[in-house]
Structures are given as structure tokens and as C-alpha cells.
Structure 1
């Protein structure tokens, strides 16, 4: 943990960083592939809509020794239709069969009571009409649409419209991936699934707003300096909040993973699967989109502004001059380490002129 805190502090101070924005094309490509796979899953397999959306009957039995597999066989033989069977904490079973009227529901109830060796009065039957499912679906779409509009308006006012667009793209990305996973896994879509989707949108938006707030603070007077471009500062904002985003996401994922894998998997509480899967996938997708999609997209949009283009030219020109200066200084340093032949010639021994040696070796020492 101390190493993680130290890493977070170094990232926040800018001592180390990873170029998220510089590699944005890679993240865009990964997101496009995942989104295409999700859309294909929706188109090919479709969503397994619960009876709350398409109508049907729910039969609840008291404690019984019949297994889930046997109950699925009994329900399918009685209704001539696939059934969803879940084990309840009381030891009973919850059997969902879509698309039937009251008369057919009574027939299936009697058939199940015979197979389960139970009194028909002990089996509780609840009917859900198709109109009720349509109302729930319409309310869900209305709630999602209102949420999106309010998010865009708030972000446009609190930050700017480019950040609002980037956040909207990230939210659509998260919804598409989550619904695609639902289609591929085949989990039943219930009102709990809708609640989970709306919840993960809030978490995704939270991580995105944290990065946007840091980016807004650091770019107040960005045009008055020539050290960093908008993309550079955007990358610093991601690195500065990276550990915080990871910590909040992991803390949120741990209890959701407990609901999904322990509650729904080991304990057999299938009623938890609908909301836990949407939360688990949505939280992970939201953390990914806030780091790899939203902020790099804002940087792309901002770099198209004339002011940001001019700033980039000034920054790159200054960096080019600095690089040239460093290269010249290095050249001078190398040159100073090389031997100077001219200096060596001056410092070395000098040969005396021949005229100065005349008259030496004679008694008078005089010249003739």
C-alpha cells in the first residue's frame, strides 16, 4: 500500500506519467472493437427480457426437494415453453414462464403441483400482463433520456460543451457494452437491471468529472505559457487522478463481485444476478471510459481550436529551439575534449633560430 501511495504521489506531482492521450488511437480502436462485439451480440442473440417486460406468470413453491434442473423440465413440459427457475433462500423455487393467460396459468399450476407432489393451493401464481411490461420499458427509456439530457446541460454549464459531448459519448459507450454483455451471457433483464444501469452511469460520470475538474483547473491560463500543449495538460490530469480512480473503482467492485460470484454463483441467489452483473460490467466500463475515452476525446476536440493550434506551434517551436541548443552545447562539449594541435605546438619546445647560435664556442664570444 505504501508503494501504491508513493506511486500516486509521483503521478500527481508529474514526476512520472504514462502518455494516455498520445496513445488514444489505440484506446479508440479497442473501444470500437468491444462496442461492435456488443452490438453484434444484441443483434444476434438479443436480450433475455423478463416477464416484467413481456408479460407472463411467476410460480412460487414452498420448500421442496426438487432440483432446479428437474423443475425446468417439469415447467417446460407443462407450458411447452422455456422457463426460468431460481432457487430461493427459503428452499422453494421461483418459476417464470413468459406469455400466457389466466386459463393457461391455472393448467400449468395444477401440472406443477402434480409433478412436485404438492397441494395446488400451496403454489403461489402471479400474472403480469404485457401492457405492464410496456409501461415499465417506456418509463425506463424516459428515465434514461432525461438523465442524459440533464448530464449534458450540467456539464456544458459547469465545464464546457466539448466536455459534455465527451462525457455523453463515454456514457453511451458504457451502456452499449453493458447491454451487449447481457445479451452474450443471457442473463434475464428485469427492473433491477435498469436500476443497475442508471447506477453505473452515475459512477462513470463521477470518475469523468474528477478528471475534467482537474483539467479545467490546470488550463485556466494555458495560452499564456509555452511549456505544454492542451494534450500535455490533459495527460497530466489523467495521471494525477489515476490512482484515485482505480481506488474508487476497486472499492466499488469488491462488494458487487461478492453479489455476483458468491451470492449468485455459489449461494444460488439468482435474483441478484440481474442487478449485480449490470453493476459489475458497468463500473469496469465506466472506469475505462473516463480514462481512455472521455479525456482523450476532449483533447482531440480542443486541439482543433485556433488558439490551441497556435499554442501547439509555439510549444513545438520552443522545444525545437531547446533541442537545437542542447545539441550545440553537446557539440561544444565534445570539441573541448579533443586535443588542440595548435596549442600543443605553442606549448611544446621551440627551436632556436640559427642566427642566435653564431659566435658560440669561441674565446671572445664575438661574432665575425
Structure 2
């Protein structure tokens, strides 16, 4: 078995592990800081909306030796404001100019033809009205709302309402970070971006549902035992699926990274940039939230339940009594949560017997 596979098996059996749940306040703080940064970026810089949402014209030129920078200067001088120029694979150019009506688009088309040294008839122009972009945005918001409602209903039925609420918070967290990154880097928001954002919702839920499924199985009849608190059981479930979550995330990120850095960076394919950036950031944020946000939130919500509170008291009391009888280990009731979890793991591997016991 490989070293990673051996680590995964040991994590699954609870022989080793990292106490993610005990350090949840740290993860919450990091997530709040990132989210605030994303919201501030949105408020200050806003989003660079494409012409599909703002309205404008797209000009496609024939092959020309003129550089992208020169074409952009020619277009901006003609339009009087910014433009986006992309060199396509066959030497042609795609020029986007926002906020144009039909007459103005025809005038700019002629000036671009003169500047590039090509005939006006060889340049194709497409006009895009802002109403079309508004329809796309409205449908995207509707799809997002329906998706969120269905997710909450499904998770509440398949698991419980606390898990549904934690998953919903994690989803909002992932979407906010992704949109914030778009604002910071200044990438254009196009229908491809909307497709990417809707796609990452499913990926974001994947690891979360896997952990929740393990937690549901592990916490069945949890109040009938006194070995683990609910938070410790949640942490064991998280560690048990940790390697799987990392593997699936890395495998998913590699092709997306290829699209973003090779397809978008070297080939200059705008649509690839739009989709791949949202996928890349969303996948990474989804993997983070499933480990550091969703499961700790479930533990926080669950620990407020009276039965789970009573279980925690029983577990800590039993550990304190065992430690006092043993005489050479500290009382678990006085330990921080992370140390208590480690002590619980040691006792579980010894079959629940205190050190020195022969019974």
C-alpha cells in the first residue's frame, strides 16, 4: 500500500488525525476575513460585466498583421472608451466594445477597418442588447434560488436540518469568494462565468455530503455510548474522508488548471478564462469549506442540543474518573478539546482500558 493510502487507512481507523473541529474558531476567523475581503472588493471595484450584460458590439476582423495593442488603440480612439481585443488562433481578431447603439457601431466599424487596413465589408459585427444579458442574469438568479431550496430540502430529509443549514452557509461562502476573486482580478463576467458559478455548486457539495454521510452513520445512537462527544465523532468522520477529499479535489483541479493557465493564458481563449477561473476558485473554496466550515458548523449546531450537551458531560466525567483511577494521566475534563480528543483516541486504541489496567 502506498504511503498516502496507508495514511488514509490510519485516518479512517482513528489511529491518527488532526482536530479540525477543536480549532473551528480559527477557521471561522480565516473565512470571515476572506469573505469580508471579497465583499469589499465587490463594493469598491465591482464586477467587469461583459457586453452580454451591458449591451454593445462584437467585431470580428479578418487576419491582419496589426498587433493586439495597436488594434486596441485604434478601437478606443474610435469609440471614446475602453475595449477588449483578442487575437484568435487563425490570425483574426475579436473586438468587443460596450455601450453602443446600431448607428454608433456602424461608424466605429468603418474606423476600425481604416485603422487595420482592411475592407469594411470583411469585418462582421454583432450587436448585443442589454435586455438579453438581463434575461440571462434573471434566469441565473432563479436557477441559483431553486438549487439552494432543493439542496436544503434534500439535506434536511436525507440528514437533518442542521446539516442542511451548514451546507447552505458553506455554499454562500464559496460563491462569495469566487465572485470576490472575479472582482479582484478584473476578469470579464460573461455567460461562461454564470455557467461556471452554477457548476461549482455541485462540486462544492460533493465532499460535504460525503463527510455528512459518514457522520450520520458514526453518530447513530451516539447518546447510548460514553466514548466520544458529538464534536469528536464529527472530527473522526472528517479525518476518515480527508484523503479522499484531497484526492478528488486535486484530480478535479488539474484539468481546470490546464484550461485556466494553458488554454486561457497561452492560447488567449476568453471563454476558457471565464469558465475555468470560476471553476478553479470554486473547487478550491468548496474543498476548504467542506473541511473547515461545514463539518465544524454542524458540530457547533449539534452541541447546543440538550441530549448532546448531556452526552458531553457524561463522556468528560467518565474520562475524568478513569484518569483519576489511573493516576498518571491528566483529567480529560480539564483538557482543551483537542487534547481530550487525542486522549480519547489513545483510550480507544487500548480498548477503553486505562494505562496499567489488567482487567
Question: Considering the TM-score relative to the shorter chain, is it more than 0.5?
Answer: yes
TM superposition shift of 1:271: 2.6
Q: Deviations over 1:94-142 (max 9, x none)?
A: 1111101000000010000001111111111000111111111111111
Which 10-residue stretch deviates more, 27-36 or 80-89? 80-89
The SS at the match of 1:15 is: coil
Per the TM alignment, residue 329 of structure 1 is displaced from its structure 2 partner at its CA by 9.5
For this pair of structures, how many residues does the alignment match?
Answer: 330
1:88 aligns with 2:88: yes
The aligned counterpart of 1:285 is 285
Runs of at least 4 residues off by over 3 Å: none
2:198 aligns to what? 198
Q: What per-residue deviation string (whole Å, max 9, x for no partner) do you get for residues 174-229 of structure 1?
A: 00000000000000000110110111110010110000000000011101100000
The answer for the alignment partner of 1:184 in structure 2 is 184
Q: Is the 8 A contact 2:323 2:329 kept in 1?
A: no
Q: CA deviation at 1:2?
A: 1.1
CA offset digits 1:268-322 (Å, max 9, x no partner): 2233111110000000000000000000000000000000000000000001001
Q: Superposed, which structure 2 residues align to 1:71-82 within 5 Å?
A: 71-82=71-82
Q: Deviations over 1:236-275 (max 9, x none)?
A: 0110000000000000000000010011112222331111
1:274 paired to 2:274: yes
CA distance in 2 between partners of 1:139 and 1:329 (Å): 61
Map 1:258-337 → 2, pairs under 5 A = 258-327=258-327
- Report the CA distance between 1:85 and its aligned residue: 1.2
Quote the residue 2:231 is aligned against: 231
Partner in structure 1 of residue 66 of structure 2:
66
5+ residue gaps, structure 1, are 331-368
**Cα distance in 1, alignment partners of residues 145 and 255 from structure 2:** 28
Q: d(CA) in 2 for partners of 1:160 and 1:319?
A: 29
Query: Offset of 1:56 from its aligned partner?
Result: 0.6
Q: Does 1:162 align with 2:162?
A: yes
Taking structure 2 as the reference length, what is the TM-score of the superposition?
Answer: 0.90
> Is 1:146 aligned with 2:146?
yes
1:105 equivalenced with 2:105 (yes/no): yes
Structure 1 position 328, deviation (Å): 6.7
1:46 aligned residue: 46
- Displacement of 1:29 after TM fit? 0.2
Shift of 1:70: 1.3
Deviates more, 1:27-36 or 1:134-143: 134-143
Matched residues in 2 for 1:67 and 1:294: separation?
49
- Highest Rg: 1 or 2? 1
- Counterpart of 1:120? 120
Distance of 1:318 and 1:64 partners within structure 2: 80
Aligned counterparts of 2:329 and 2:92: Cα–Cα separation in 1? 83
RMSD: 1.2
How high is the TM-score relative to the length of structure 1? 0.88
User: Gapped runs of 5+ residues in structure 2?
Assistant: 331-359
The separation in 2 between residues aligned to 1:301 and 1:95, in whole angstroms, is 52
**Deviation, structure 1 residue 90:** 1.9
* Offset at residue 50 of structure 1 (A): 0.4
| 2:140–2:194 Cα contact (<8 Å) kept | yes
> What is the CA–CA distance in structure 2 between the aligned matches of 1:91 and 1:242, rounded to whole Å?
47
Distance of 1:154 and 1:190 partners within structure 2:
30
